[in-house]
Amino acid sequence: MTSVFMIVPKFERVLTKEKRTFYWLAKETGVSHTTLWRLKKGRAAGINFETLEKICRALRCQPGDVLVLTSDITPPRRQASKKARKA
């Protein structure tokens, strides 16, 4: 069985260290709460550089502090789209 390598956002560690909240990050970056929630829960398909830069600037950190390469045989479940659920 082969391992699947995934990049996983882990910005909650930095938020805790900086004594900041998830809601503060949304307000500070201008990135929607929904987008940040999807990143946090592993439901985002990706992250663009602008969003990553905003998060890193707000948290005064480097991309490697908020993104972790992990090897996991079970990728996170993605929620089906509304169209797929209705079918």
Domain ranges of the chain: 7-68
Show the tokens assigned to 38. 């999807």
Distances, alpha carbon 87 to alpha carbons 5, 26, 80, 82, in Å: 32, 34, 11, 9
Q: What's the confidence (pLDDT) of residue 24?
A: 95
CA angle 29, 35, 38 (to 5 degrees): 135
Report the top-level CATH class of 7-68: mainly alpha
What pTM was computed for the model? 0.73
Higher pLDDT, 36 or 79: 36
The whole-number average pLDDT for the span 27-32 is 96
